[in-house]
Structure 1
Amino acid sequence: MSEIKQSNSKAIVSLIMGILSLLIPFIGIILGILGLIFASKSKKEMAQSGESGKGLVTAGKICSIIGIILNVIMILIFLVLFFFTVNTDSMVY
């Protein structure tokens, strides 16, 4: 019988943080960074303990990176629109 290896808990947390970074605006940057941190720590733990979860770590990293990029783009668009709105010279009466 084959032995079922337990998934690394930090790999699962990394995937959850990556998915949340995609779904929650503004706070997603922090969640994405946390997802990347948990992914790197879980890779080190899996190398030492032999736990499974390599796919979870990869998916967590990808989701975290995409979440960070999308949140940065969203914040930049928000700032540009905000400054464009504030700095208009025309007044509406």
Structure 2
Amino acid sequence: MSHAAPETNSLAIISLVFGILGWSFLPVVGGLVAIVTGHLARSEIRRAAERPQGDGMAVAGLVLGYLALASAVVVLGVVLAFFGGLAWFGAFQ
């Protein structure tokens, strides 16, 4: 008797892929997609009767997505503070 392995949730895979892309090519969009699909994947995995695999991938996508989004916000704040400081300094010259 052979038992088929449970399928991996496709939203969990998408979350992990976009979490990685959030650190390389698509910082804001990749982070947002990773967060949304990660939460959707975890809720689908919890509700499914046969418990598909992929919860770890969904969590990894969520962590990468949240960190990518937070780092993008920090970088934006640093850039705005830098150029705001330059503008302030230039106004008194």
Quote the offset at 1:71 in angstroms. 0.6
Q: Point out where structure 2 has 5 or more consecutive residues left out of the alignment.
A: none
Are 1:22 and 1:70, in contact at CA under 8 Å, matched by a contact in 2? no
- Alignment-derived partner of residue 39 in structure 2: 40
| Rounded Cα–Cα distance in structure 2 between residues aligned with 1:56 and 1:75 | 28
Q: Please provide the CA RMSD for this pair.
A: 1.8
Are 1:14 and 1:39, in contact at CA under 8 Å, matched by a contact in 2? yes
| Rounded Cα–Cα distance in structure 1 between residues aligned with 2:75 and 2:24 | 12
Deviations 1:47-73 (A, max 9, x none): 233211011011101101111111111
- Alignment-derived partner of residue 7 in structure 1: 8
State the TM-score, normalized to the length of structure 2. 0.82
Are 1:19 and 1:63, in contact at CA under 8 Å, matched by a contact in 2? yes
Runs of 4+ in 1 over 4 A off after TM superposition: none
Are 1:21 and 1:28, in contact at CA under 8 Å, matched by a contact in 2? yes
- Alignment-derived partner of residue 70 in structure 1: 71
Number of residue pairs matched?
89
| Rounded Cα–Cα distance in structure 2 between residues aligned with 1:21 and 1:72 | 13
State the AA in 2 paired with 1:70.
S
Deviates more, 1:58-67 or 1:27-36: 27-36
Deviations 1:11-53 (A, max 9, x none): 01101111111223xx522321221110111112222332110
